[in-house]
Amino acid sequence: MPARIHNFSAGPATLPMEVLEQAARDIVNFNDKGIGLIEMSHRSKDFIAVADETESLLREILGVPAHFKVLFLQGGASLQFAMVPMNLLGPGKKGAYLNTGTWSKKAIKEARLFGDVQVAYSSEESNFNHVPSPNEYQVDEDAEYLYYVSNNTIFGTQFHAIPQVAPMLICDMSSDILSRSFDFSPFGLIFAGAQKNMGPAGCTVVFIREDLLDHTPAGVATMLKYKTHADADSMFNTPPCFAIHVIGLVLKWIKKNGGLAALEQKNREKAALLYQTIDNSSFYRGHARSDSRSNMNITFNLPTPELEAQFIKEATALGLDGLKGHRSVGGCRASIYNAFPKEGIVKLIDFMGDFEKKNR
Amino acid sequence: MPARIHNFSAGPATLPMEVLEQAARDIVNFNDKGIGLIEMSHRSKDFIAVADETESLLREILGVPAHFKVLFLQGGASLQFAMVPMNLLGPGKKGAYLNTGTWSKKAIKEARLFGDVQVAYSSEESNFNHVPSPNEYQVDEDAEYLYYVSNNTIFGTQFHAIPQVAPMLICDMSSDILSRSFDFSPFGLIFAGAQKNMGPAGCTVVFIREDLLDHTPAGVATMLKYKTHADADSMFNTPPCFAIHVIGLVLKWIKKNGGLAALEQKNREKAALLYQTIDNSSFYRGHARSDSRSNMNITFNLPTPELEAQFIKEATALGLDGLKGHRSVGGCRASIYNAFPKEGIVKLIDFMGDFEKKNR
């Protein structure tokens, strides 16, 4: 096996090597049962134990209150953009949204199909380079919820405090769940695609307050009602078994490495190294406003698109992969989720220094 | 590693060992790139090549005509029960259904939410022990389509001829796709969950005639429109990358083993061995009517529920796993998809003989 590259991809993203190795063994022969994990009936005792353990680790590590259901769904965050308003809005009901990037914008578009929408704040005019502070917006009193995206993968911004407003919060935590601890009490529903901090693509975890399960209007398809999945412990139909198992392996790795407190500390340190490099240079320019900087996705530009292309090319040759920024921002993006090692960041910083010297 | 068991599970189900072993290697280090398959961006060149190859193998092996799109979706067949009428019906439009088991019944329930439904035939009164022959039903002239389930996993029945009717056909082929060849021309849309003959749970393959992509009424959520996924080559959002890759590996295995013609022959032979055993015994009783018997799922009962429980227990101890029938039929079910080896069937037949002698 050649040297492992440093994978800065925004998602699917780097996972811990020990998780990959365990998943590989389990695919061929799960727990020495003479059957591969992906061949097992989802209704077998062995697989139900896998799903139960993944759920109980999520509850333990995140501190999920007992009155929240944990669901393992399919369709990605993009399907949640529609399922949230389908289940929680309806004719005459309103959802409030903070528009802080591509994903909130898509969620707003879907919400308009199923109810009224208040866009309480938008940072679109500054190309989503920041998230608002609580005194910068007001949520309509008749809104059912305030929806926001805790971390904006594409623009590299992140909420560092949970909005404090009257209606319940709905949050898309796809790109920073499990990177820090938080209090569930202001939330009604949280969802996150697995493919950044949790595991492989193909599973979306939804945390929903139980009392919301009965809010769904009539006429919603069975598979699109949260209640369907809550009542069947996410086994109304065949769930994404492999992804659920790998999420469980990642959670064990998190627990072994000190849980969210330790990860949060490491994530801050990792990001600070890169932001310092950017701040100490006039060659590299951060996209996100300092107060809104993400600890997961660091977005930056170089003086010209030509230099950016050259930078990415040389970095890739050094095994620093996936640094090309999203077309909405251009430039570069270093995604450094939980499993991304500090050594990779040090290597990137060294390269950034060398590249600046040569090309300044 | 202990002896590999014989896994008669109805799905997720047995996969070829060489596929499992390759998948295991790819998870840790894909193509010696120093990155695991499940860590790679779905927009990377390497993953796009994986998805393209899977699609092109499906097209080659199944003979998919050029005017059909191939989509890799999430949510299982159960989400298709809703997506089909959401996209192809609407107020005043009618779908005709053949009700031949649990899955068609669920599809009928969803269709009623989005349009009118004609149940053109139902075998429910005989506990779904058969499928109709073409002269046993008439489809309303104003129906947009005739929907049927080609193989009924739970009841062990299968259509051995494609219905010949005027409107286009829609077919749920979840449990017999890739087990035999067929002509696409009467079909408008075919879908199949991967977790029987194709690969792991978490991916649903949809084949849709291109002209149907524009039939969707207004107001359907973006993720639930077939056109969204067709226009984006199934990459509108992150697809179930791992499942798509394993489907590709299974397709390579199918090609290497002679394609659908060879598999169809083997599947017939495998099923015939079991049906002969049932027919030659007054101890075992098949559930499905002889003209409707499935080559994928063989359902049978023993003289008493106590004997059935004993049979399943002793079989499991011998490494013949997953033989418990679905509660709707009771008794036993042997699911013997493409990758299930003939040796396992011979072993089951031997055991059936022994058990009958001891308990007759």
Residues B27, A28: C-beta atoms closer than 8 Å: no
How deeply is A186 buried, as exposed, middle or buried, from its count of CB atoms within 10 A (0-12, 13-18, 19+)? middle
Chains A, B: CB contacts within 8 A come to: 219
Residues A77, B237: C-beta atoms closer than 8 Å: yes
B201-227 per-position pLDDT tens digit = 999 999 999 999 999 999 999 999 999
- Strands in A270-353 per DSSP E: 285-286, 297-301, 320-321, 332-335
Record the tokens describing residue B230, joined without a space: 């067709």
- Scanning every residue of chain B, which has its alpha carbon at the shortest distance from the alpha carbon of A193? B238
pLDDT at B166: 78
| pLDDT exceeds 50 at position B195 | yes
CA Rg, chain A, in Å? 21
pLDDT at B46: 96
pLDDT at A130: 98
Domain ranges of chain B: 17-256, 258-359
pLDDT at B13: 97
A residues 117-176 closer than 8 Å to B (CB): none
A157-196 per-position pLDDT tens digit = 999 999 988 799 999 999 999 999 999 999 999 999 999 9
pLDDT at A124: 97
B275-299 per-position pLDDT tens digit = 999 999 999 999 999 999 999 999 9
- Scanning every residue of chain A, which has its alpha carbon at the shortest distance from the alpha carbon of B237? A78
* B217 in contact with A, Cβ within 8 Å: no
- Percentage of residues in chain A with pLDDT exceeding 70? 99
B236: chain A residues, CB-CB within 8 Å: 78
The string of DSSP codes covering B147-202 is EEESEETTTTEE-SS----SSEEEEE-TTTTTSS----TTEEEEEEESTTTTSSSS
| pLDDT exceeds 80 at position A120 | yes
Question: Among residues B172, B236, B222, B78, which one has the least CA distance to residue A221?
Answer: B78
Domain A258-359, CATH class in plain words: alpha beta
B243: chain A residues, CB-CB within 8 Å: 202, 240, 242
The answer to whether A205 and A226 are in contact (CB under 8 A) is: no
| pLDDT exceeds 60 at position B335 | yes
Q: What's the CATH fold of domain A17-256? A: Aspartate Aminotransferase; domain 2 (3.40.640)
- Measure the CA dihedral B276/B277/B283/B289, to 10°: -40
A230-283 per-position pLDDT tens digit = 999 999 999 999 999 999 999 999 999 999 999 999 999 999 999 999 999 999
Residues A5, B33: C-beta atoms closer than 8 Å: yes
Task: State the number of CA atoms in the 13 A half-sphere of A301 facing the CB.
Answer: 14
Segment A55-80 shows an average pLDDT of 98
pLDDT at B2: 47
Residues A32, B113: C-beta atoms closer than 8 Å: no
CA distances B317 to A34, A42, B7, B291, Å, are 13, 20, 12, 33
- Please, which residues bridge with residue A293 across strands? A157
pLDDT at B328: 86
* Residue from B238, B241, B244 to probe the interface with A (highest A Cβ count within 10 Å): B238
| pLDDT exceeds 70 at position A2 | no
> What's the pTM?
0.98
Residues A219, B39: C-beta atoms closer than 8 Å: no
* B240 in contact with A, Cβ within 8 Å: yes
* A12 in contact with B, Cβ within 8 Å: yes
| pLDDT exceeds 50 at position B1 | no
Whole-angstrom distance, CA of residue A67 vs CA of residue A210:
6
CA distances A330 to A280, A325, B259, Å, are 21, 5, 46
Min Cα separation A86/chain B (Å): 9
pLDDT at B68: 98
- Please, which residues bridge with residue B209 across strands? B68
Residues A34, B4: C-beta atoms closer than 8 Å: yes
Question: Among residues B308, B313, B326, B321, which one has the least CA distance to residue B347?
Answer: B321
pLDDT at A1: 39
Residues A20, B39: C-beta atoms closer than 8 Å: yes
The answer to whether B235 and B43 are in contact (CB under 8 A) is: yes
Residues B237, A28: C-beta atoms closer than 8 Å: no
Amino acid identity at A200: P
Angle between helices A17-28 and A241-256 (to 10 degrees): 140
B residues 243-262 closer than 8 Å to A (CB): 243, 246
* A286 in contact with B, Cβ within 8 Å: no
> Catalytic residue numbers of B?
103, 172, 196
Segment A318-339 shows an average pLDDT of 95
B124-143: burial string, b at 16+ Cβ within 10 Å, e else: eeeebbbbbeeeebebeeeb
